[in-house]
A and B are shown apart, each in its own frame.
Chain A
Amino acid sequence: MRREIPLIITATVGIAYIIQYFIPHTPFDKVEALFSDWLSIIAACAIWLGALNLLKLSFLSVSKRKKDWFFSLVIIISWLTMALVGISEGPGFQEPGTKFDWLYTNIYTPLSATMFAMLAFYVASASYRAFRARNFQATLLLVAAFLVLSGRVLFDELIFGFLPADWKILSTISDFIMQVLNTAGQRAILIGIALGTVSTSLRIILGIERSYLGSD
């Protein structure tokens, strides 16, 4: 039954969603509403599950003095601080001026922005070492990247500013690459993904694909 019940739930919900998409009327819309509410509840519980699991693993790491346990200690302190401050402030904990908002604005925001900003440095370094015109395809990629990079910044305005106002050479080429070449490629990928999603979904709903149930 450990496998049959999840299979029945998956098939029921999947079929219900397909039917209500094509027939969005009673009773199918009611069924869809019910399942969507359940899904929101499950998603909210999953957030807690993830957060508590992170806390548990961090506690284990600290208690067993695993490698880099100090970082786990930072996670525990940060986790508890944000959670306790948020809970102590009640429903309006995210309002401007609260302690939670102060922590979010002055600690969380700059720290996470710093993490992301470091990408700029690593991308520059990696581009210098790896972005080579080794063959025709790589050269094509390099030229396209240069044109898009140039067109998306102020080169037209700063370098070709002497040209008439509507002569935006680099922007025009960049727009062409983004809107025509990129769109064509993206559509091909999207269609491929969509077909793959449909076939995988059908396999899951019909119980042919069972890997999501685990091995035991």
Chain B
Amino acid sequence: MNFWKALLAIDRRWIFLFVFLALAVPMFLNVDFELSISREVQGLYDALDKLQPNSKVLMSFDYDPPSAPELQPMADAIMKYCLKKRLRIIIMGLWPQGPIQANMALARAFADKNIDQSEYVYGIHYVNLGYQAGNEFVIQRMGSSFYDMFKNDYAGNRYEELPLMRGIKNFNDIDFSINFSAGYPGTVEWVQIAVDRFHVRLGAGNTAVQAPQVYPYYNSGQVVGLAGGMRGAAELEGIFAYNAETDVVYKDRGTKYMLSQTIAHAVVMFFIVVGNIAYFVIGRKDKLKTSK
């Protein structure tokens, strides 16, 4: 077997090893870089930045742990920003695991030394309504009544006992909505029902896999801002860090993981190039043999 054929038949565990090193080693490096901010992430930031303190922001956490590496840094950064800006946060989930992921984002926000948890009262400044089964029909029903979908919050408190929820009947009482989505139900359903039908202003954080499906809605203005994949997370952290007037630390895991993703992409591209060179060299040799 010649060199190129041997290269094509390389044991896949070697590839696994290179990918592992590409992902793991950068996590221990401390490389500082300034990311350029894309138009869609800027749109998300601008929409949040324009909100007045005490504006009501609905956050729907529609993902689970497998998508958390991309979406959790986005949720962390936005949660910190909303708390620091004194926005009132209403959390919900169309995925069962979503509200728990929201609690993680809250915990990380409150762990920041510049956000004093004692200043934020559950039920007044933020609420976690929990998960509701029914996918897009939950969104549709919320268009007429939040109460009918969430009679109790995540911890079992009654809706009417939560001061933040007393003045909220439906989407008309919400100033801005953000959806962190990894698939169905997610941003597409929020756009089709909440935005198109009830005229909700929506921003979205999506996995890299889902983001291409959401771009048409961003370009049409149905989604005012969009953060896609790890890059979106890192850009969000970057823009909040750059524009923040406070000492809150926004640059976090999204920025850190970007380096891992960069090296991993480079390794994958390298293997694809090598694979193609081997493919063409072998093909050319075979052609020459046949012609002889």
Residue on B with the closest CB to A165? B36
- Contact (A129, B275) CB under 8 Å given A40-B138, A175-B38: yes
Selected contact of A109 from candidates B65, B265, B267, CB within 8 Å: B65
A75 lies within 8 A of chain B by Cβ: no
- Contact (A183, B36) CB under 8 Å given A120-B23, A128-B15, A131-B275: no
| Interface range, B side | 35 or more
Chain A residues near B (Cβ < 8 Å): 21, 29, 32-33, 36-37, 39-40, 43-44, 46-47, 90-92, 94-96, 101, 104-105, 108-110, 112-113, 115-117, 120-121, 123-125, 127-129, 131-133, 142, 146, 149-150, 152-158, 161, 165-166, 168, 171, 175, 178-179, 182-183, 186-187, 190
Determine if B279 and A132 form an interchain contact, defined as CB atoms under 8 angstroms apart.
Answer: yes
Distance of A106 from chain B, by nearest CB (Å): 11
A-B contact count (CB 8 A): 166
Determine if A157 and B34 form an interchain contact, defined as CB atoms under 8 angstroms apart.
Answer: yes
Known A46-B133, A95-B155, A109-B68; further 10 A-B contacts with Cβ < 8 A: A90-B156, A101-B100, A104-B97, A128-B10, A132-B276, A149-B269, A152-B208, A153-B262, A178-B215, A179-B215
Query: Chain A residues with Cβ under 8 A from B271's Cβ?
Result: 124, 127-128
B286 lies within 8 A of chain A by Cβ: no
Selected contact of B216 from candidates A120, A142, A154, A190, CB within 8 Å: A190
Query: CA of A165 to CA of B16 in the docked complex: distance in angstroms?
Result: 35
Q: Could you list some 25 contacts between A and B, CB below 8 A?
A: A33-B148, A36-B134, A39-B137, A43-B135, A46-B133, A47-B96, A94-B100, A95-B155, A105-B104, A120-B19, A121-B15, A124-B267, A127-B268, A127-B271, A128-B272, A142-B276, A146-B272, A149-B268, A150-B269, A152-B231, A153-B231, A154-B259, A154-B262, A175-B39, A178-B212
Determine if A116 and B212 form an interchain contact, defined as CB atoms under 8 angstroms apart.
Answer: no
Query: Chain A residues with Cβ under 8 A from B231's Cβ?
Result: 152-153
Determine if A96 and B103 form an interchain contact, defined as CB atoms under 8 angstroms apart.
Answer: yes
Determine if B66 and A116 form an interchain contact, defined as CB atoms under 8 angstroms apart.
Answer: yes
Query: Chain B residues with Cβ under 8 A from A47's Cβ?
Result: 96, 133
Distance of B26 from chain A, by nearest CB (Å): 10
Query: Chain B residues with Cβ under 8 A from A156's Cβ?
Result: 36
Query: CA of A109 to CA of B68 in the docked complex: distance in angstroms?
Result: 9
Query: Chain B residues with Cβ under 8 A from A94's Cβ?
Result: 99-100, 103, 130, 154
Query: CA of A14 to CA of B261 in the docked complex: distance in angstroms?
Result: 46
Distance of A142 from chain B, by nearest CB (Å): 7
Determine if A124 and B34 form an interchain contact, defined as CB atoms under 8 angstroms apart.
Answer: no
- Contact (A112, B262) CB under 8 Å given A39-B137, A40-B133, A152-B208: no
B73 lies within 8 A of chain A by Cβ: no
Distance of A155 from chain B, by nearest CB (Å): 7
Determine if A44 and B265 form an interchain contact, defined as CB atoms under 8 angstroms apart.
Answer: no
Query: Chain A residues with Cβ under 8 A from B99's Cβ?
Result: 94
B175 lies within 8 A of chain A by Cβ: no
Interface with A: B49-57, B78-86, B139-147, B243-251, which one?
A: B139-147
B64 lies within 8 A of chain A by Cβ: yes
- B residues 1-56 near A (Cβ < 8 Å) are 8, 10, 12, 15-16, 18-20, 23, 33-36, 38-39
Which among B18, B68, B148, B272 has the highest number of chain A CB atoms within 10 Å?
Answer: B272
Query: CA of A39 to CA of B137 in the docked complex: distance in angstroms?
Result: 7
Determine if A112 and B64 form an interchain contact, defined as CB atoms under 8 angstroms apart.
Answer: yes
- Contact (A186, B133) CB under 8 Å given A149-B269, A153-B258: no
Query: CA of A135 to CA of B99 in the docked complex: distance in angstroms?
Result: 47
Determine if B140 and A133 form an interchain contact, defined as CB atoms under 8 angstroms apart.
Answer: no
Determine if A182 and B215 form an interchain contact, defined as CB atoms under 8 angstroms apart.
Answer: yes
Contact with A along B98-137 (1 / 0, CB 8 A): 0110011001000000000000000000000010111101
Distance of A88 from chain B, by nearest CB (Å): 15
Distance of B129 from chain A, by nearest CB (Å): 12
Query: CA of A187 to CA of B219 in the docked complex: distance in angstroms?
Result: 11
